[in-house]
Structure 1
Amino acid sequence: MDFHSFKDWFTLENIIDLIDQYRSFGPLPGILLPLLEAFLPFLPLFLFVLANANAFGLGWGFLFSWIGASAGALLVFLLVRRYGDTRLFRFLLRRKKVQSLTSWLEQRGFGPLFLLLCFPFTPSAVVNIVAGISKISIYQYMLAIIAGKAVMIFTLSFIGHDIVSLIKQPVRTGIVLAIIVIFWFIGKKIENKIKEKVQERG
């Protein structure tokens, strides 16, 4: 199977069938597929999320996708943070665009990371790598991942589970937007608490 045939295989129906085939493993297929996407960013995360919502229902589907995507992003971040002094990452750090992006993240912390991760088609692999080679704290990063991925995955799950009612009932759309604002507000509060504790220790 060549690469194009491999990509063409990824349809919502095929992924749902795949999850159903391995239903005996419980939530593992629903968690592993989004986790794998963090390491192989050409895989369609949005299809995995939609398939989970259809295969497991809105609640469980969201939870499995959220756990998998968050765990995958965190693993990539930790690997980059651990091996960030290798030749490949030293090469990246010398590039002006990467330097400006890392300093931008370091200065602003949780806010921009959260907003980037809220959007389904943000290149999260790039965000994970840049965050890993930056000096942003692991606590800020984890907070942004957990909150941002929750918003993004819930939105996709919500839309994919019942897209018709989302269009016909604008109140549901308002709920999705309200959740984004709430997560951002909570994240900023927690980030400020973390900064205060760091300053007290310093």
Structure 2
Amino acid sequence: MFDWLNADNIVELTGEYRSLGPLIGLILPFLEAFLPFLPLFAFVIANASAYGLWIGFLLSWVGTVMGSYVVFSIVRKYGRARLLGFITKYERVQKLIHWVETHGFGPLFLLLCFPFTPSALVNLVAGLSNMKKKNYLWTLLAGKFVMIFTISFIGHDIKELLTKPIHTGIVLLVIMLLWLVGKQIERRLNMRVEANYRLAQKERQEGKGPTV
């Protein structure tokens, strides 16, 4: 059933993808920021395999940063309006907004470094927060740089990846480790978000109490 899925056919598909031109390599990561169900991981590997490590990396990096920043800007402008205002009613979103506003660059940078982080949620929360646009752009540039380059480096030689079992095993192990570490960091951040939000709520309630 999958006889066609061999190294030569994959290389041929890569050549056909490259023939579409570099614009497609920019557009697909850009669209993923709006449609998070699209496979960014696959787009980055396709770009690195078709255009080489560095050009493929640049196409993916620029595309995903542009898309993420446009989403952030749209949410920043319309997030409090009636059209999107319902989003801020969710307690989880409120917690994340509070976390971003009190901690800024560091946590977002860490989350954006890992390929399995829900970056659409990060863009949304950052847009709803009071984080400065310039600061978020720098966060995107740095975090996406690490993430996109890691994926590009893993997948830039697709033929070697498919024909050398040891190399494939190492790559799969690295991907698994990235997933595990990313989830661990996400879990720890969620716990801190919860604790900080509860503390802020408690302090706000005490501040509203009667004064002597």
Q: TM-score with structure 2 length normalisation?
A: 0.67
Aligned to 1:101: 96
Aligned to 2:74: 79
Structure 1 position 167, deviation (Å)? 3.6
Conserved 8 A contact 2:18-2:51: no
The whole-number CA distance in structure 2 between the counterparts of 1:141 and 1:14 is 39
* Equivalent residue letter for 1:129: L
The whole-number CA distance in structure 1 between the counterparts of 2:11 and 2:109 is 31
Structure 1 position 19, deviation (Å)? 2.6
The whole-number CA distance in structure 2 between the counterparts of 1:50 and 1:14 is 15
The whole-number CA distance in structure 1 between the counterparts of 2:42 and 2:11 is 10
The whole-number CA distance in structure 2 between the counterparts of 1:58 and 1:165 is 17
Structure 1 position 97, deviation (Å)? 1.1
Q: Tell me, what secondary structure is at the counterpart of 2:117? A: coil
Q: Is there any run of 5+ residues in structure 2 with no aligned partner, and where?
A: 1-9, 162-166, 172-212
Aligned to 1:135: 130
Conserved 8 A contact 1:15-1:48: no
- Equivalent residues in 2 for 1:24-63 (5 A)? 27-63=22-58
Distance change (3 Å), C-alpha of 1:83 and 1:60: same
Distance change (3 Å), C-alpha of 1:83 and 1:18: farther
Structure 1 position 22, deviation (Å)? 1.2
Conserved 8 A contact 1:62-1:153: yes
Distance change (3 Å), C-alpha of 1:139 and 1:150: same
The whole-number CA distance in structure 2 between the counterparts of 1:119 and 1:14 is 30
Distance change (3 Å), C-alpha of 1:157 and 1:40: same
Partner deviation per Cα, 1:106-165 (whole Å, 9 max, x = no partner): 111000110000010111111101110111111221111000000000000001124529
Question: What's the Cα RMSD here?
Answer: 2.6
The whole-number CA distance in structure 2 between the counterparts of 1:124 and 1:53 is 21
Conserved 8 A contact 1:35-1:69: yes
Structure 1 position 48, deviation (Å)? 0.2
Partner deviation per Cα, 1:68-115 (whole Å, 9 max, x = no partner): 000000000001111112224321112211111100011110001100
Structure number with bigger Rg: 2
The whole-number CA distance in structure 2 between the counterparts of 1:47 and 1:13 is 15
Distance change (3 Å), C-alpha of 1:161 and 1:83: same
Aligned to 1:176: none
Distance change (3 Å), C-alpha of 1:122 and 1:13: farther
Aligned to 2:18: 20
Q: TM-score with structure 1 length normalisation?
A: 0.71
Conserved 8 A contact 2:31-2:67: yes
Partner deviation per Cα, 1:7-26 (whole Å, 9 max, x = no partner): xxxxx889746633412xxx
Conserved 8 A contact 1:15-1:51: no
Q: Is there any run of 5+ residues in structure 1 with no aligned partner, and where?
A: 1-11, 169-202
Partner deviation per Cα, 1:15-62 (whole Å, 9 max, x = no partner): 746633412xxx211111100100111100000000000000001000
Q: Which runs of 4+ in 1 moved over 3 A?
A: 12-18, 165-168
The whole-number CA distance in structure 1 between the counterparts of 2:30 and 2:109 is 19
Conserved 8 A contact 1:30-1:61: yes
